[in-house]
Amino acid sequence: MLDFGFSEILLTSAIALVVLGPERLPKVARQVGNWIGRARAMARQLSEQLEREVSADELLKEQSKPNPPAGAAGADPHAAPHAEYNPPTTVPTTTPSND
């Protein structure tokens, strides 16, 4: 954003002290700080709102896309889906007990 060095801040402060005087300078500095805080808050709110709008627009575009049929290209979309293969489970064998 703005790149102020130490010398620029010192020069600005000295000019403000001469122009405003020691009585009014703290009050003006407080007001300027409040304005800067408000401006940053508004900028943050604006960027968050833009992000929400872009996300909502992308979601709307994703929902409006037609879903491609599952399987290979050219497959019948009305055909029943293939069942998932589940291998048979083994039956536990009992071991003879040593009674």
pLDDT tier at 71, thresholds 50, 70, 90 = low
Q: At which residue do the structure tokens 């009050």 appear?
A: 27
pLDDT tens-digit readout, 35-65: 999 999 999 999 999 999 999 888 888 888 7
Residue 73 has pLDDT above 70, yes or no: no
Q: Are 28 and 16 in contact (CB under 8 A)?
A: yes
- Give pLDDT, residue 34: 96
- Distance, CA of 20 to CA of 24 (rounded, Å): 6
